[in-house]
Structure 1
Amino acid sequence: MAAKDRREELLAAAFRVMVREGVAKATTRAIVNEAKMPLGVFHYCFSSREELLQEVLTRFTGSSVAAARKTFEGDGDLGSRITKSLNAFWEGVERSPGQHQVSYELTHYALRQAGFEDLARRQYQHYLEAHTELLTEAAETADIEWVVAVPVLARYLNAVLEGITLSWLVDRNSEHSREVLRLTAEHLMTLVGEKVVADRVS
């Protein structure tokens, strides 16, 4: 097996262990046992356990952002696109709760490790940049302006999605969670203003 293929197998094995048992129990030995590989292969593919965890978190963040972008690029008016995007996000949460729980665990793990904090910062910066891009694109395609600064609106949206996901992981109340998403979509539409076009001086 090529080194890149072994690396992919180890990443997949690490994710399975973390979903099943948590980040703390995803030791190097547990990961190689899951992948059915000798310990030496791990150190051939990764310089450390932290490097592997960093790659897992980076990939999860990237896939989440890509999924949101794909959904938001569909047809329909602004309100329907926002609703569709939020519903698609939520379907992903309910379909793969273990993955989202691992994401939270990895974030806290990164914040606790000296010299590793930047990984958590980059994770959330990636989320904020994605929300900013989608909100900016939405305004342009719908020919509107947001009445709240886009970076602030992006942080608001990220906070809502993070909070509702963590709450659901605790109590699994899907009905109330979906109602919060509906309210969020309605609130976003109240922050839409008419686009002001400055008069051009000929």
Structure 2
Amino acid sequence: MLDGWNVNRSYRGMSAEQRLADRRERLMTAAYTLYAKPGFTATTIERLCSEARISNRAFYECFGGREELLQALHERCVEESLATVSKALQDAPNTLDGRIRAGIRAYIEFTTADWRRARIMHVEVRRSGDVLTLSRQRAVDAFARLIEDASSDFPRPAPLNRRLIALGVIGALQELLIEWLLSEDQPEIDELVAVAVHIFNRSLEPG
């Protein structure tokens, strides 16, 4: 996981492939902090290289540019989040309410456990312009399918298209997490979970 990366490993005894992989991890670690703050647009390749302690030339052996590095970082954050939510859904009580609460709590707790992850996934993903458009669309689609699959065993009547409901819930979650990140009066995690669960349940009620 991102939190456990170590940028202090020696190159001694490494093959060329291992050295390349090590440099990529150094850059991913540097970007994990710098892309979160001061942010993607304010972070230069020179600063990334300085933080990762590699040369500018070595950067281009690993990534085609800052944008490719941001995409790799965002995709890793998404993959880790999906794995966490999937595990929570598997372990949840076998009821619709149980799965809803377990999945939402797992996502919110995992995302807020590290402010850098939360900023990259919910703030920088928007501030980066078109860089993460496709990556963000793939992430939203993956989470929407996860929500649909989690509720498919419980044919609770829905007034509207279930996929659109899933997309709406994802949008609400994103806004709640942005509020958590940027608000001076930061809401409690339990409050975020309660609000998100309420929104999901209300979305399934007849009009």
| Residue 173 (str. 1) matches residue 186 (str. 2) | yes
- The runs of 5 or more residues in structure 1 that have no matched partner are 112-116, 194-202
TM-score normalised by structure 1 residue count: 0.78
Select the residue among 89, 96, 99 that pairs with 1:72: 89
| Residue 141 (str. 1) matches residue 153 (str. 2) | yes
Counterpart residue identity of residue 81, structure 1: R
Shift of 1:180: 4.7
Contact 1:71–1:88 (Cα < 8 Å) also in 2: yes
Q: Secondary structure at the match of 1:142?
A: coil
| Residue 157 (str. 1) matches residue 197 (str. 2) | no
Shift of 1:29: 1.1
Aligned match of 1:9:
26
Contact 2:40–2:128 (Cα < 8 Å) also in 1: no
In structure 2, distance between residues paired with 1:96 and 1:22: 15
Aligned match of 1:123:
135
Moved runs in structure 1, 4+ residues, more than 4 A? 190-193
Select the residue among 91, 94, 108 that pairs with 1:90: 108
Contact 2:71–2:135 (Cα < 8 Å) also in 1: no
In structure 1, distance between residues paired with 2:143 and 2:107: 13
Shift of 1:166: 0.6
Counterpart residue identity of residue 147, structure 1: P
Identity %: 22
Distance 1:25 1:85, change over 3 A: same
Distance 1:67 1:32, change over 3 A: same
Contact 2:32–2:73 (Cα < 8 Å) also in 1: yes
In structure 2, distance between residues paired with 1:110 and 1:49: 11
Select the residue among 72, 80, 85 that pairs with 1:55: 72
| Residue 37 (str. 1) matches residue 49 (str. 2) | no
Q: Give per-residue Cα distances to partners, 1:44-85, cap 9 Å, x unaligned.
A: 222222221221222222222222222222231211221122
Q: Secondary structure at the match of 2:132?
A: helix
Q: Secondary structure at the match of 2:150?
A: helix
Contact 2:112–2:118 (Cα < 8 Å) also in 1: no
Of Structure 1 and Structure 2, the greater helix share is in 1
Aligned match of 1:114:
none
Contact 2:165–2:203 (Cα < 8 Å) also in 1: no
Counterpart residue identity of residue 157, structure 1: V
Aligned match of 2:201:
189
Contact 1:11–1:52 (Cα < 8 Å) also in 2: yes
Counterpart residue identity of residue 164, structure 1: L
Give the superposed CA RMSD: 2.4
In structure 2, distance between residues paired with 1:180 and 1:32: 37
Select the residue among 126, 142, 149 that pairs with 1:108: 126
Contact 1:6–1:45 (Cα < 8 Å) also in 2: yes
Contact 1:132–1:154 (Cα < 8 Å) also in 2: yes
In structure 2, distance between residues paired with 1:63 and 1:90: 13
In structure 1, distance between residues paired with 2:194 and 2:54: 47
In structure 2, distance between residues paired with 1:144 and 1:63: 30
Shift of 1:33: 1.1
